[in-house]
């Protein structure tokens, strides 16, 4: 049997559509977080923040936090087993954030609904058996 007939989880043929969709959602989240960090740094350069030091450190911290979903997206796109854990944790952390945003109302309501929907969709994609199979994660007997 050749390598092309029995694809490994890291080959494109073994990557499922669900896994690719989860990677895209994680990348979108990472880019949104990075945009928020750049906005905070932009306030220091082009605006008048209440505290320059807080805005700068907050922006740098948020940019560093953007690395987690972006690295998870990279791993999911490459069908790496390690990437599922960080991606799941990000979504579990996003749900309370979405709930809090939705309870503030006005403009944050729409953001909270979108964030919650994306987090739930990505959670569903990541726990689906096709995605776990594409990552090479085997189910164990209970």
The residues of the chain scoring below 50 in pLDDT are: 1-7, 10, 13-14
Mean pLDDT of the residues in the chain: 87
pTM: 0.81
Distances (CA, A) of 137 to 67, 74, 83: 24, 18, 12
pLDDT of residue 132: 86
Angle CA 58–35–39, to nearest 5 = 55
Residues 88 and 22: beta-carbon distance below 8 Å:
no
pLDDT for 74-112, tens place per residue?
A: 999 999 999 999 999 999 999 999 999 998 878 789 989
Asked if 87 and 69 count as a contact pair (C-beta separation under 8 A), the reply is yes
pLDDT score for 47: 85
Instruction: Return the pLDDT at 142.
Output: 61
50 CB burial (10 A radius; 0-12, 13-18, 19+): exposed
Residue 15 pLDDT: 62
């Amino acid at each position: 049997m050749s390598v092309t007939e029995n694809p490994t989880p890291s080959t494109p043929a073994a990557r499922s559509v669900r896994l690719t969709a989860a990677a895209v959602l994680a990348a979108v989240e990472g880019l949104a977080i990075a945009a928020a960090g750049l906005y905070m740094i932009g306030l220091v350069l082009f605006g008048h923040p209440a505290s320059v030091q807080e805005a700068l450190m907050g922006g740098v911290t948020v940019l560093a936090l953007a690395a987690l979903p972006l690295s998870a997206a990279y791993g999911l796109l490459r069908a790496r087993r390690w990437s599922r854990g960080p991606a799941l944790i990000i979504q579990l952390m996003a749900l309370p954030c979405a709930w809090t945003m939705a309870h503030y109302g006005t403009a944050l309501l729409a953001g909270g609904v979108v964030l919650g929907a994306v987090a739930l969709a990505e959670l569903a994609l990541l726990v689906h058996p096709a995605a776990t199979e594409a990552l090479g994660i085997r189910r164990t007997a209970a």
